[in-house]
Structure 1
């Protein structure tokens, strides 16, 4: 199917992705992973929740870790441009017959919770508590030296439908993978903030969260993280990489937290600010789409993901398969 034209004047204005809330089964183990290994900074914590930010972020948090009986994802958060956009966004979702609930969230201003048509829990806001800058406090840089949250990638049972819905909200396609036999889109990368993506969709059983990604300064930080994980008991948490993606051109590493939530460490993609930038098309059978150097991803990368709270999953009817590592 052809990629739809971008919606240049959407019904409300999303600035960027903002935060994710993970349910974790051992808060102390998750704290050790995200703080001591990855290097995120604690901004608040209690017996039930830990709030984290990366080094360049002024907002209070980009990850919330919540003690839970089971691992899952409570919400994906997005920041809107200014206060009037909140009511516009709420009206958009109500017009689609989707639930809108105005909620109170610590460290955040007016905020509402909703979901997309497949049950992915979404959260929209304008104001979050601002914290003093720490990007020049180099004594605080630890682990992989994460600078900022970069994107979410989701498994979708119908990527073409996901592109249409998120495109209506103003997300623009930068790159996509097409199944040559059916002509359908197998995966797509969509942005608001001017990078390759804020959200991406991968064909598979969904909706599930495939991964959350963090931008780091250089590929050498990724090498340092591998050495750290390999010598501190986390070697089994290294899932894929390091490598360079064909799609996005980014240098990457995929790791798993203690509950199996997948985190991508990411740098070196390109700028996409022009509204008329044409999407780049890839064939599903091109071995360089996954990794520019040709190495295929492991089967777990295509089959395992984090469940969204309250969402019912279904299998995709597009059975096309990319190249999978033996």
Structure 2
């Protein structure tokens, strides 16, 4: 199925992804992983919650960790252009029969909670408390030196349907993988902020969160993180990489946090600001689409994901499969 023409004048204006809200079973262990090992900065915490930001970010947080009985994802959040966009988003989702609710979130202004076509929980806001810049406080640069949150990737049972829905609200496709036999999409990368993606979709049991990605300065930071994790008790949390993707051209490493939430450490993709930029098509059978160089992805990378609160994943009807490591 051809990808849709980009919607250049969407019903409301999303600027970028903003933050993810994780349920974690051992808050101290998660804090040690994200702060002491990866290098995210604590902006607030109490006995049940930790708020984190990366080093270039001015907003209060890009990740929330909440003590929970079971691991889960509460919501994926996006920032809109101004207050008026929140009302436009509210009316658009309500008009299509989606649940809409104005919710209170610490350190944020008005926040709209709703869901996409699969029930995946998404939230929108305009105002978040600003913090002082720390990007030149190099004494704070620890771990992999995470600069900013970069994207989400979600398992979905029908990538064509996901691309169609998110295209309606302005997400433009940059690259995609098509199964040549069925002509259906196996994966697609879509953006708002001018990188390769803010949110991507991968065929599989879903909706589930495949990973959250953080941008780092250089590939050497990723190599340093491998050394650090291998010598501080996290060697088994190294799932895939390092390597370079064909799609996005990014240098990558995939790791698992103590609850199994997957994190990608990521750098070196390219700019996609032009609204008329043509999407790049990949064949599912091309071995360099997922790994330009490096070891093939393990089976866990195609099967393991984080569940969303209150959402029952559905199996995909597309049986096509990429190359999987033995």
- TM more than 0.5: yes
Q: With structure 2 as the length reference, what TM-score do the two structures score?
A: 1.00
Partner of 2:38 in structure 1?
Answer: 38
Q: Which blocks of at least 5 consecutive residues in structure 1 are unaligned?
A: none
CA contact (8 A) 2:242 2:294 kept: no
Aligned residue for 1:248, secondary structure, equals helix
Partner of 1:256 in structure 2?
Answer: 256
Partner of 1:84 in structure 2?
Answer: 84
Q: With structure 1 as the length reference, what TM-score do the two structures score?
A: 1.00
Partner of 2:265 in structure 1?
Answer: 265
Deviates more, 1:55-64 or 1:115-124: 115-124
Partner of 2:281 in structure 1?
Answer: 281
Q: How many residues align?
A: 326
Whole-Å separation in 2 of the counterparts to 1:259 and 1:225: 19
Partner of 1:9 in structure 2?
Answer: 9
CA contact (8 A) 1:7 1:167 kept: yes
| 1:298 equivalenced with 2:298 (yes/no) | yes
Q: How does 1:1-326 map to 2 (within 5 A)?
A: 1-293=1-293, 295-326=295-326
How far 1:294 moved relative to its partner? 5.9
CA contact (8 A) 2:73 2:308 kept: yes
Whole-Å separation in 2 of the counterparts to 1:295 and 1:178: 22
User: Cα RMSD between the aligned structures?
Assistant: 0.5
How far 1:247 moved relative to its partner? 0.1
Whole-Å separation in 2 of the counterparts to 1:70 and 1:128: 28
Whole-Å separation in 1 of the counterparts to 2:3 and 2:80: 25
CA contact (8 A) 1:208 1:305 kept: yes
Whole-Å separation in 2 of the counterparts to 1:225 and 1:304: 22
How far 1:295 moved relative to its partner? 3.2
Q: Which blocks of at least 5 consecutive residues in structure 2 are unaligned?
A: none
How far 1:59 moved relative to its partner? 0.1
